[in-house]
């Protein structure tokens, strides 16, 4: 059957290429041009046009990328958007807003108040760096900035919890508000940990997954604790 097909194809090919041997290029037709495959030829045009585009387009493109990643964190499916096209804008925005909301009293108040802006900022970034180093030392295959990106973006549920806590505290600070805040913070902490685990767990060696997940758990636990114990000055 294969032989028949082959002969059939050969039979069909003969009329197609029958006149090939008759074609000849005469000497007075100059043959010139590039033999390169024009795959990369459009990229210089592209770069030129992104340089020339209005600023609004540039900003909107980056904002859309950040927004898409926020959506991926809130509904964590196995998508590679966070891992492949990592960026650190989202983590920076989240970290700054969380630190702004968490800072307690002025530095010269006589009571030992809540964390200062610098303390929260350092805890989040230094904690993320240490966790990334830990996962790489244990043999993880994820790159440094990809891991920072995932850990930073997964702070989003906790930032939402902080907003909710501040609003609840505006209403009152009794036992009921504490219970509401506790439930919200616990739910968001579980969401953060599960989201970052969903993104990061696959890149770890199978015997050491728990060793990598425990520091992530500790990291989000400490941030949740800071959110829960926040009292308005």
Partner 1 sequence: MAAVDDLKFQEFDDAANLLAVNPDATTISVDEPSENPKTQHGLLQDTGREEDDELLGTDDSDKTELLAGQKKSAPFWTFEYYQTFFDVDTYQVLDRIKGSVFPVPGKNFVRLYIRSNPDLYGPFWICATLVFAIAISGNLSNFFIHLGKPTFHYVPEFRKVSIAATTIYAYAWLVPLALWGFLMWRNSKVMNIVSYSFLEIVCVYGYSLFIYIPTAILWIIPQKAVRWVLVMFALCLSGDHRASPCPAGCRLFGILF
Footprint of partner 1 (CB under 8 A): 104, 111-116, 119, 134, 136-139, 206-211, 214-215, 218, 221-222, 225-226, 229-231
Q: Which is nearer to partner 1, 76 or 113 (CB)?
A: 113
Q: Which is nearer to partner 1, 79 or 134 (CB)?
A: 134
Q: Which two tokens stand for residue 147?
A: 């891991």
Query: CB 233 → partner 1: shortest distance, Å?
Result: 9
Residues 118, 141: Cα–Cα separation, whole Å: 31
Query: CB 140 → partner 1: shortest distance, Å?
Result: 10
Query: CB 97 → partner 1: shortest distance, Å?
Result: 19
Query: CB 33 → partner 1: shortest distance, Å?
Result: 49
Longest dimension (CA), the chain: 99
Q: Which is nearer to partner 1, 135 or 159 (CB)?
A: 135
Whether 106 and 205 have beta carbons less than 8 Å apart is answered as no
Whether 97 and 159 have beta carbons less than 8 Å apart is answered as yes
Give every CB contact of residue 144 below 8 A, 6+ residues apart in sequence: 132, 136
């Amino acid at each position: 059957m294969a032989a028949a097909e082959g002969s059939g194809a050969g039979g069909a090919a003969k009329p197609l290429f029958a006149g090939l041997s008759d074609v000849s290029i005469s000497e007075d037709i100059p043959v010139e041009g590039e033999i390169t495959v024009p795959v990369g030829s459009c990229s210089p045009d592209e770069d030129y046009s992104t340089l020339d585009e209005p600023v609004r387009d540039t900003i909107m493109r980056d904002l859309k990328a950040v927004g898409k990643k926020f959506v991926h964190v809130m509904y964590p499916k196995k998508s590679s958007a966070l891992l492949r096209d990592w960026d650190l804008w989202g983590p920076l925005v989240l970290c700054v807003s969380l630190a702004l909301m968490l800072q307690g009293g002025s530095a010269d108040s006589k009571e030992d108040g809540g964390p200062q802006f610098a303390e929260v900022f350092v805890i989040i970034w230094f904690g993320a760096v240490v966790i990334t180093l830990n996962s790489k030392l244990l043999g993880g295959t994820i790159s440094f900035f990809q891991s920072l990106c995932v850990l930073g973006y997964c702070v989003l549920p906790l930032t939402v919890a902080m907003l909710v806590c501040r609003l609840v505290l505006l209403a009152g600070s009794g036992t009921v508000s504490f219970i509401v805040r506790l439930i919200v913070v616990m739910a968001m902490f579980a969401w953060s940990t599960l989201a970052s685990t969903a993104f990061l767990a696959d890149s770890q060696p199978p015997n050491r997954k728990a060793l990598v997940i425990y520091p992530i758990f500790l990291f989000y636990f400490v941030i949740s604790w800071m959110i829960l114990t926040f009292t308005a000055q």
